[in-house]
């Protein structure tokens, strides 16, 4: 059913909880897993380094449980980048946490990245609380 799963990540608790769901789905459906980290266009070098470190940590964790992943770090508005990348890889499913770390700073209108992804996504989105 799900051949290609996209897992956008950040350092939020919700993303950590979504990891287990992503693992279960990938193992159950023997799906290909893409992990995406997005930084804003005005990100600092420190933000970019943090994103690279996060990708390495997650890659190591997935390798430990026997799942190989493809990774990408991109810049831009998170929801748009996530949806564009999902379209690019023909994702069958996006699995993501319900909220990002900088919700109030990035989204003064009260909408979260996950809400925007749900509205823009080319495929189903599984949001883990």
Structural contact between residues 121 and 8, judged by C-beta atoms closer than 8 angstroms: no
Reported as half-sphere exposure (CB side, CA atoms, 13 A), residue 116 has a value of 18
Q: How far apart are CA 68 and CA 13, in angstroms?
A: 23
Reported as half-sphere exposure (CB side, CA atoms, 13 A), residue 80 has a value of 6
CATH code, 4-128: 3.40.50.620
86-100: per-residue pLDDT in tens? 999 999 999 999 875
pTM given for the model: 0.90
∠ CA 65-94-42, rounded to 5° = 100
Any idea where the domains of the chain sit in the sequence?
Answer: 4-128
- Among 13, 25, 2, which residue's Cα sits nearest to residue 90? 2
15-72: per-residue pLDDT in tens? 989 999 999 999 999 999 999 999 988 888 888 899 999 999 999 999 999 999 999 9
């Amino acid at each position: 059913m799900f051949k290609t799963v996209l897992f956008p990540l950040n350092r939020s608790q919700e993303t950590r909880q979504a990891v287990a769901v992503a693992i279960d789905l990938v193992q159950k459906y023997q799906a290909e897993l893409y992990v995406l980290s997005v930084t804003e266009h005005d990100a600092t070098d420190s933000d970019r380094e943090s994103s690279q470190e996060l990708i390495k940590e997650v890659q190591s964790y997935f390798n430990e449980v026997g799942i190989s992943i493809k990774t990408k770090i991109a810049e831009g508005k998170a929801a748009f980048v996530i949806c564009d990348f999902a379209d690019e890889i023909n994702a069958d499913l996006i699995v993501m946490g319900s909220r990002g770390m900088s919700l109030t700073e990035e989204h003064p209108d009260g909408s979260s990245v996950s809400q925007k992804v749900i509205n823009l996504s080319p495929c189903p989105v599984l949001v883990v609380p």
